[in-house]
A and B are shown apart, each in its own frame.
Chain A
Amino acid sequence: MASLESLTEDLLVRIYKGLASDGDRKSWRLVCRDFHRIDALTRSSLRVLRVEFLRSLLANYPRLDTLDLSVCPRIDDGAVAVLLTSRGSPWAFPRAASSSLSPPGRDPLAWTRGLRKLVLSRSTGLGHHGLEQVIRACAYLESVDVSHCCGFGDREAAALSCGARLREVKMDKCLGVTDVGLAKIAVGCGRLEKVSLKWCMEIGDLGVDLLCNKCVDLKFLDLSYLKVTNDSLRSIGSLPKLEVLALVGCSLIDDTGLQFLGGGCPLLRVIDMSRCNGISSCGLISVAKGHEDLVQLNASYSLTECSSILLRCFKDLKNLNAIKIDGARVSDSAFKALSNCTSLVEIGLGKCIGATNLGLMRLVSGCVNLRVLDLTCCHSITDAAIFAISDSCRNLTCLKLESCNMITEKSLYYLGSFCLLLEELDLTDCGGINDTGLEYLSNCLELSCLKLALCPTISDKGLGHIASKCRKICEIDLYRCNGIGDDALAALSSGCKKLRRLNLSYCSDVTDRGMEYLGQLEELWDLEMRSLFNVTGVGLMALAAGCKRLADLDMKYCENVDDSGFWALAYYARNLRQEAKLVHLNKVTVEGFELALRTCWVRIKKVKLLAALRFKLSSDVRETLHSRGCKIRWD
Chain B
Amino acid sequence: MPSSCPECGSSNVVEDDLYSQRQWVCVDCGSVVSEGHLTTTVSDETQGRAVPYHASTEVLKKPCRNLIAGFSRVRALCQILGGCCVLSVCRQCNWPVAMGTIGYLLGVDNATLGTVYREFTKALNIEISTIGIMDMLESFCYDFKLGPQQVEEVFAEPPQRLVDRTSALIELAADAWIVTGRQPLPLLFAAVYLAWQSLNPTVRMKYTFVKFCKIGKAPEQSWHRSRDSVVKRLKELRDVLCKLGRELPWLRGGTVEPNTVVPLVDDILKNHRALLLRAVRNYEQQLQNESQTAQTTECDNELSDSNRSESHSSTTPELMDPDQAGCENPADKQATDCQLPPDHWSKRHLFLPPCVKNRKRQRVDAPQLEVTGDEEISDSEIESYIRSQDEIEMYLKVQKELKKMA
- Note whether A and B form a binding pair: no
- Residues of A whose CB lies within 8 Å of any CB of B are none
